[in-house]
Amino acid sequence: MKKNILLIHTGGTISMEFDTKTGGVILSATNPLALEIDNIQKFANITEVEAFNLPSPHITPERMLELKALITEKMDYSPFDGVVITHGTDTLEETAYFLELTTDYTIPIVLTGAMRSSNEIGSDGVYNLMSAVRVAAADDANGKGVLVVLNDEIHTATNVTKTHSSSVSTFQSPQFGPIGIVTKAAIHFHHAPLSRTYLPIEKISKKVAMFKVYAGMEADLLTTISALGYDGVVLEGLGQGNVPPNLATGIRGLLTEGLPVILVSRCFNGIAQDIYAYEGGGKMLKDMGVRFENGLSGQKARLKLLLELCSE
Ligand code: ASP
């Protein structure tokens, strides 16, 4: 029997078109994906909602929370078998991870997007949307958390990241790879996530800053954040989780004020650990009270800390 899928549009290149006069990619007045809906209905009964029509750099945590509320409202009214969300690719991984942490549905929530706008040659929007609907309608997608489907691959919201500014194979899960693939004939999963964190929140009431750590970094910017009203900070540290000595002094100051300091590695692969005991080394930072958020990128660790603070 055909599954019932809720399809929510939020904007992004998948809903945009190339303007031949100006040479720019622009928002379309009518969503070009709407023209394809009959083809997509072959795979599931689709209920469409236009939530926003925004490029994804305009998406904020408040918008993500609206999206979560919309899903809850629709699910309460008529339980769907799956949800598909179209989204700009720039911040797609952040919205996906936000929904991973703030929802606890067993049904699949699948995000997709496109790297080429609707009227460009080789446009990947309709194909990715079709794949996302097929994944959301697959029995095996249940219980795997929030998923991201593009370019025939299925990734978890936790691990996926945009790795290339323009390639259609931009979405990758460094270290782990995709958890499944989409083929013409079927949806294949070969891995499943082991656990899931649930952080339900009502409102975005806190602010979290993030810095990428670099050689010779001073503590001056870091120490301004509490005066600016920030409630916590995420640092993308060096290597296994180290920072320059001057920064360690600033970190100590923030911890003394009671601000949480989270450390991840700025390396693309691997995790932050408390190995080095020198001034600014990971062992010293951990002893000081810095929390290591292993395996998350800076932007996801920032969202997680924000949600933890908002749910307190
Ligand atoms: N800049 C666009 C956005 O994120 C890129 C895309 O959608 O692929 O909205």
Kindly state the average pLDDT of the residues 21-46. Answer: 86
> Best substitution site from 13, 16, 53, 87 to test ligand 1's pocket, by max atoms within 8 Å of Cβ?
13
- Cα(7) to centroid of ligand 1, in Å? 18
Q: What is the pLDDT of residues 87-102, one digit of tens each?
A: 999 999 999 999 999 9
Tokens 């055909």 correspond to what residue?
2
Higher-confidence residue of 79 and 232: namely 232
Kindly state the average pLDDT of the residues 40-50. Answer: 95
- Contact, 212 vs 299, CB < 8 A? no
Higher-confidence residue of 216 and 119: namely 216
- Contact, 123 vs 117, CB < 8 A? yes
- 3-state class (DSSP) for residue 99: helix
pLDDT at residue 16 is higher than 90: no
Kindly state the average pLDDT of the residues 161-171. Answer: 96
Residue minimizing CA distance to atom 3 of ligand 1: 88
Q: Which residues line ligand 1 (CB under 6 A)?
A: 12-13, 55-56, 88-90, 113-115
Q: What is the pLDDT of residues 257-298, one digit of tens each?
A: 999 999 999 998 999 999 999 999 999 999 999 999 988 999
> Best substitution site from 56, 60, 150, 166 to test ligand 1's pocket, by max atoms within 8 Å of Cβ?
56
Q: How confident is the model at residue 181 (pLDDT cuts 50, 70, 90)?
A: very high
Q: What was the pLDDT predicted at 221?
A: 95
**CB crowding 43-69: b at 16 or more within 10 Å, else e:** bbebebeebbbbbbeebebebbbebbe
pLDDT at residue 227 is higher than 90: yes
Q: Which two structure tokens, joined as six digits, stand for 144?
A: 């795997």
Q: What is the pLDDT of residues 132-165, one digit of tens each?
A: 999 999 999 999 999 999 999 999 999 999 999 9
Q: What was the pLDDT predicted at 37?
A: 87
pLDDT at residue 119 is higher than 90: no
| Cα dihedral 283, 288, 292, 297 sign | negative
pTM value > 0.85: yes
Which domains does the chain carry?
4-189 (3.40.50.1170), 208-310 (3.40.50.40)
